[in-house]
Amino acid sequence: MSMKVSKFNNIRVLVHLLSWTLLAFALLGYPYTLKKEISYPAEFLIKQVIHLCIMVIAYYMNSYYFVPYFLFNKRYVWYVISIVCFVLFASFFMSFVSRLLDLHNKEPFLQIPTIWHRLYLDRFATWTTLIMLGISTSMSIMTKWNKDSKRLVHLEHEQVQMELTTLRAQIHPHFLFNTLNSIYALSYLDADASRKALAQTSRLLRYQFYEVKHTLTPLANELAFIKDYVSIMRLRTNNNIHIELLIPEETGDFQIAPMLLISYIENVFKHGITDDDATIFIKIAMEGDILTLKTKNKIGTFSNSLEELEIKGVGMSNAKRRLELLYASRYNIITEVDEVNRTYNLKLAIQLT
């Protein structure tokens, strides 16, 4: 980060040097290169050098003092007073320099005194100082806006990361509680199956402890995790419960937020096992960089609305919030109840890249 800042500062210095060099050429070289037919006295060059110094002072004094201390602090009256005073000072000072160098009595500056001359003011210095102050103010406002925008983006990113960390931390106890409940129920039905389930649970917990700390994990690891979870649920349910799981064999190098899909799969088992002859369908597919999760499960006789079938607890709200934070407009979820076949259908599509 410090290297980027240093590089940006170096570029900024070079841009300023180049700009002042071009302005110096315009002030000092213009009369001698484009108007060769006119002879300028040596004193004119001295005045132009002093004029350039005034413009440099105007730019940086406005950038580093007037704008930050007055304009950005909403002390607008003091800012206007400062600008007016500096312009009058620059105009008066350059008029004084012209009189000191006696330029008004030398060709090609010999002319009838004007109102500016009588007021001891320099018209050219007045306008150039105003222009320089305007450029300085505009650049300062643009720089501040850019810094504020970057800081806002950085703060929003930090807030999102903190929220994601909190959400990931919530997954541990929630999922562990549900899994241990499943194994506890299984231990009454089949001791051998419960031992097998414990072995699979150890893999699930290992995945949780190591992978859930990261924002993204390989899709292959996430699918293996889901496969182990469904295997535990197969052991817990009786043989009349038909569970169909379809997952892709090839996942490429795609990554996904860890344990993002498991809440939707848990929801299927929670609401899908309504009787001794239930069917649970889970399909995960890849098409290009789009991952699609489809689930279908039977619903009970008295479940007649979508709201009754969607969990309002930690798991589903957690998954929904993580989708919003990580994938924003890159995901789409559709849920519906088929009243004819008494099934609850879900389709979640996520663009992984």
Q: Which of 282, 294, 273, 272 is nearest to 245 (CA)?
A: 282
Residues 31 and 49 sit within 8 Å (Cβ to Cβ): no
- Please report the pLDDT score of residue 331 as a whole number: 92
For the chain, give every residue range classified as CATH 3.30.565.10: 190-351
Residues 6+ apart with CB under 8 A from 290: 349, 350, 351, 352
Look up tokens 């990931």; give the residue. Answer: 168
Domain 190-351 fold is Heat Shock Protein 90 (3.30.565)
End-to-end Cα distance, the chain:
26
Question: Rounded CA gap, 148 and 154, in Å?
Answer: 10
Strands 255-256 and 331-338: unpaired
Residues 295 and 284 sit within 8 Å (Cβ to Cβ): no
- Please report the pLDDT score of residue 29 as a whole number: 67
User: How is residue 177 written in tokens?
Assistant: 């509680």
Question: Rounded CA gap, 153 and 41, in Å?
Answer: 56
If one counts every other C-beta atom within 10 angstroms of the C-beta of residue 50, the result is 17
Cβ neighbourhood burial of 125 (10 Å; 0-12, 13-18, 19+): buried
- Cα torsion 238, 240, 242, 243 to 10°: value is 0
Q: What are phi and psi of 189, to 5 degrees?
A: -95, -40
- Sign, CA torsion 320/323/329/334: negative
- Please report the pLDDT score of residue 110 as a whole number: 47
- Please report the pLDDT score of residue 187 as a whole number: 67
- Please report the pLDDT score of residue 302 as a whole number: 47
Residues 6+ apart with CB under 8 A from 98: 47, 104, 109, 122
- Please report the pLDDT score of residue 161 as a whole number: 63
Question: Rounded CA gap, 353 and 351, in Å?
Answer: 6
pTM of the model: 0.54
What tens-digit pLDDT sequence spans the chain (353 residues)?
455 556 666 777 888 888 878 877 777 766 555 555 555 666 777 888 888 899 899 999 999 999 998 998 889 999 999 999 999 999 888 888 877 876 565 554 545 455 555 556 778 888 888 999 999 999 999 988 888 888 777 766 666 666 556 555 555 555 666 666 666 666 666 666 666 767 677 777 777 777 667 778 899 988 988 988 888 778 767 667 888 999 998 888 999 988 888 888 888 887 766 666 678 899 999 999 999 999 998 876 545 455 555 545 556 777 788 888 888 889 999 988 887 878 889 999 999 98
Q: What is the DSSP string of 262-326?
A: HHHHHHHHHHH--STT-EEEEEEEEETTEEEEEEEEE--TT--SHHHHS--SHHHHHHHHHHHHH
Q: Which of 255, 247, 252, 248 is nearest to 229 (CA)?
A: 247
- Please report the pLDDT score of residue 250 as a whole number: 87
Count each helix (H run) and each strand (E run) in the chain, helices first: 11, 7
Radius of gyration of the chain (CA): 37
